[in-house]
Structure 1
Amino acid sequence: MTIDVILPCLNEEAALGWVLGRMPDGYRPIVVDNGSTDRSARIARDLGARVVDEPRRGFGAACHTGLLASLAEVVCFMDADASLDPAQLPRVTAAVLDGRADLVLGRRVPGAAGTWPPHARLGNAVLARGLRRRTGAPLHDLGPMRAARRASLLALGLTDRRFGYPLEMVLRAAAAGWRIAEVDVPYLPRTGRSKVTGTVRGTLRAVADMRRVMAETALAAKHPRSSGSL
């Protein structure tokens, strides 16, 4: 079976060679160029990846465009900045492939001091705790490396196109009764500066997006007829 790997990409020319070079056999990279001004798209094509353009800026926009472009039964998502090792993808997909889980997230385990800035790690922990309380899903990290079946993901009707997309995926999956799991994956120093965790402002923006999604889905659950969601 071929598994598509969706890689949202914004100016990651320095990291793509390492990321694409470590893609396991049977895993097909789809690099979604989200308005890069460097050579990211050209490098990805030269290395054999499929490149899809998504000019609308937004992490969720890039992820969802990749999902729509995918042709595989099972898809993965992961960052293109070399903070996650594609060699770990088979561990993340295993429970989906053998039917033990419907959505699996990679729980990031930092391997070196400074890999995960304190402000970003704290924001993630607060959101994960709220998510566990609300859904019962045994998650400790809203990790960007994850796997699920494509048709099922499309059926969730994800609407966020910003940083709330990963959280909305989990919330809607939990509401739909999905079996959600996580596995540990090494978290590495990224190549270049993060657009999110690299600054307090970026982290706060991502947390604000996720809190908005949390509030919107809570409202939709209370008033499903008026919202048309969940």
Structure 2
Amino acid sequence: MRVLNVSFIIFLSLLISSFLFFKKEAIACEAITLIGFEEIHSNVYSDSSLTSEQRSSLRNTINQAHDRIEQVYGVTKASPRIIATNNLEYKKFGLNPTGMQNSGFFRECIFLGPKGLNVDVIAHGLVHAEVRYRTNFLVEHTELPAWFIEGTGIKVDYRIPFLIENISVSKEDVEQIKSVFFFHNFPNTSVKSYQASRIAIEALEPKSLYFGLERLNNGEKFEEVFGL
């Protein structure tokens, strides 16, 4: 009996440790004020590494990003928590030098590093948050391929490599990226992968995105809705 108790405790400890490791970004999203961040604007958090000028301009930059998305896709509904820092020590919680969007347990979060405090990166992350906000858990994990989520984000990301006139990828590159479904398989260090994702969603009518996501929630299949 004692051996069983010890084995159970070890198993439970390993389970909790694994959960904390794989969900560290979600935990950071929910508990950001406990690791040195404060709310500087509504739903916008920063640590002391951001200068006063950066803090002041961040709200305006976020508003510009929202405006860009609304011009392309329409009015947004999501209100993700935006977390910004210049301190790369926080990469262990999901931050990187540029930025990334991640889901918390109760909300969407966008982590911004020192290279991500601009309209392009913020707009990109906000689209990810919007897509996830508008889809239920089942749809997000069974109907939305990684290349589609990335492509819709890249469409509002006007950094030079992602402008349509600067993209030169082959049909094979596009078909290869369209074979990637899960995010953990998406080659996120490859510029060409993002470019191929951008080309892959080119046939999408942008203003149909939100309605298409609603159709997915109602049980229709990705191929039927978007035909990409």
**Same fold, TM exceeding 0.5?**
no
Q: Return the TM-score normalized by structure 1.
A: 0.32
Greater strand share, structure number: 1
Q: Return the TM-score normalized by structure 2.
A: 0.32
Which entry has the higher C-alpha Rg, 1 or 2? 2
